[in-house]
């Protein structure tokens, strides 16, 4: 398949193909944190994140959430629908952690009485600042209607993933999603769902099994990513399927 590099982000490269309706996404081992200040390679990360995303997206699709995903092509590559990414990152939180805890002085691990949806402007130069929906509409990043649909889909992703991970011994603390628009104007889930973009805590031990191991120098980064691939692709454990909060 012919490929023309289109865009290189911190963790992935996007290529145009001979089919104008499809892109190829290549997942890299490169890891960055604190807006690119901290950089390293996490061996096997690209393959793990590609595999986890390729495992989850078809299940989300089957649950009625449209996505850009078409198929996994290789260890580190997948074929996706060509969409225009909405420059608004959507964070969904079940439990206080990370920037939410820091900003509001709420101890990490405090359960939230309802899921919280936050919006950030997707801008490396500005460090993905927190915004609200009025800002996104006022600056032309998304319409009110698109943002309503994005919020609805983000919460449906949460309603699918939270019990999915619980059944595999993982608490889904929070996660970040990106959405794209097709040429026909449909809003679809894009980007990835992986230990780079979610907080995963082991339900039994509380151990962090996500990128916080890299951000916070906790060690065992590769092992945590490999363990999450194992959990995601494992069968649900009977009786554990219960939503957080």
31 binding ligand C5P? (CB under 6 A)? no
The token pair that represents 75 in the structure block: 């260890």
Query: How do strand 111-121 and strand 88-95 relate by DSSP bridges?
Result: antiparallel
The token pair that represents 215 in the structure block: 């951000």
- Residue 183 CB neighbours (<10 A): 11
Distance, CA of 29 to CA of 49 (rounded, Å) = 9
- State the minimum distance, in angstroms, from the CB of residue 29 to ligand C5P: 17
The residue of the chain with the least Cβ separation from ligand C5P equals 98
Among 13, 28, 211, 213, binds ligand C5P (CB under 6 A): 211
Contact in structure between 190 and 180 (CB atoms under 8 Å): yes
In the Cβ-directed half-sphere of 109, how many Cα atoms lie within 13 Å? 6
- State the minimum distance, in angstroms, from the CB of residue 21 to ligand C5P: 27
174 binding ligand C5P? (CB under 6 A)? yes
Contact set for ligand C5P, span 60-99 (CB under 6 A): 89, 91, 97-99
Among 199, 201, 227, 232, binds ligand C5P (CB under 6 A): 199
Distance, CA of 232 to CA of 234 (rounded, Å) = 6
208 binding ligand C5P? (CB under 6 A)? no
100 binding ligand C5P? (CB under 6 A)? yes
32 binding ligand C5P? (CB under 6 A)? no
């Amino acid at each position: 398949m012919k490929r023309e590099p289109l865009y290189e982000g911190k963790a992935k490269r996007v290529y145009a193909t001979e089919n104008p309706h499809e892109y190829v996404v290549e997942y890299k081992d490169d890891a960055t944190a604190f807006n690119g200040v901290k950089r390293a390679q996490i061996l096997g990360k690209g393959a793990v994140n590609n595999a986890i995303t390729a495992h989850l997206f078809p299940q989300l699709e089957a649950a009625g959430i449209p996505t850009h995903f078409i198929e996994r092509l290789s260890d580190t590559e997948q074929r996706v629908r060509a969409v225009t990414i909405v420059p608004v990152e959507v964070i969904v939180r079940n439990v206080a952690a990370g920037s939410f805890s820091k900003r509001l002085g709420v101890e990490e691990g405090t359960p939230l009485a309802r899921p919280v949806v936050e919006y950030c402007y997707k801008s490396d130069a500005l460090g993905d600042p927190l915004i609200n929906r009025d800002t996104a509409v006022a600056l032309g990043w998304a319409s009110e209607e698109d943002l309503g649909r994005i919020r609805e889909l983000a919460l449906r992703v949460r309603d699918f993933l939270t019990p999915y991970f619980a059944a595999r011994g993982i608490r889904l603390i929070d996660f970040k999603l990106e959405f794209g628009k097709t040429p026909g104007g449909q809003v679809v889930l894009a980007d990835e769902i992986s230990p780079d973009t979610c907080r995963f805590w082991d339900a039994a031990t509380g151990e962090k099994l996500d990128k916080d191991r890299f951000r916070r120098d906790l060690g065992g980064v590769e092992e945590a990513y490999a363990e999450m691939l194992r959990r995601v692709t494992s069968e649900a454990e009977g009786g554990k399927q219960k939503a957080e909060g």
